[in-house]
Amino acid sequence: MFGELTSPWWTFILLGILAGIASGLLGIGGGVIMVPAMVLLFAGFGQKTAQGTALAVMIPLAIIGTLRYMQNPDITINWTVVILIAASAIAGTLIGTAMMSRLPVDFIRKCFAVLMLVIAIKMFISKPPQTAVEPAEEQPQTTQTPENP
């Protein structure tokens, strides 16, 4: 089992810890961390293999992360939204994996990089909508008095 690894076993443990922290802290699946790391840092991982490996790793990350978020009384998961997105994402995954097997690796790698760049720029320069206030971030209401107009 360990003889099949292309890099020292502990590097994969470190990558898992970093991806897990990013998943729990930022709500990402970990692929944003794992795919570039496997492609750029570990020998023997092509883009498509790294993507498939990251998808397999995301299953336990998503389950544990969801359970932990559900335990937080300040977070409400909208299960209707979860069902709608998950059902349509399954269809999208079937289409995406069919496309992936037909497209050149270089094109997929560049698409992945552009997607991460666009998302990073958008998140960096845009302000969150006013309706996206978490319960813990709500400001206390003040009443108007003659001293406090």
Q: Is the pLDDT of residue 140 over 60?
A: no
Say which residue, 122 or 136, is predicted with more confidence: 122
CA distance 82 to 18: 25
Q: How do the domains of the chain map onto residue ranges?
A: 9-125
Higher pLDDT, 69 or 44: 69
Average of pLDDT values for 105-109?
92
Q: Confidence band (pLDDT; 50, 70, 90) for 4?
A: confident
Tokens representing residue 5 in the block: 């690894």
Alpha-carbon distance 102 to 99, whole Å? 5
Does residue 145 have a pLDDT over 70?
no
3-state secondary structure the chain: CHHHCCCCHHHHHHHHHHHHHHHHHHCCCCHHHHHHHHHHCCCCCCHHHHHHHHHHHHHHHHHHHHHHHHCCCCCCCCHHHHHHHHHHHHHHHHHHHHHHHHCCHHHHHHHHHHHHHHHHHHHHHCCCCCCCCCHHHCCCCCCCECCEC
Q: What does the alpha-carbon distance between residue 108 and residue 116 come to, in Å, rounded to a whole number?
A: 12
Q: Given this model, what pLDDT does residue 139 score?
A: 52
Say if residue 133's pLDDT is above 70.
Answer: no
What tens digit of pLDDT does each residue of 61-98 get?
Answer: 889 989 999 999 999 999 999 999 999 999 999 999 99
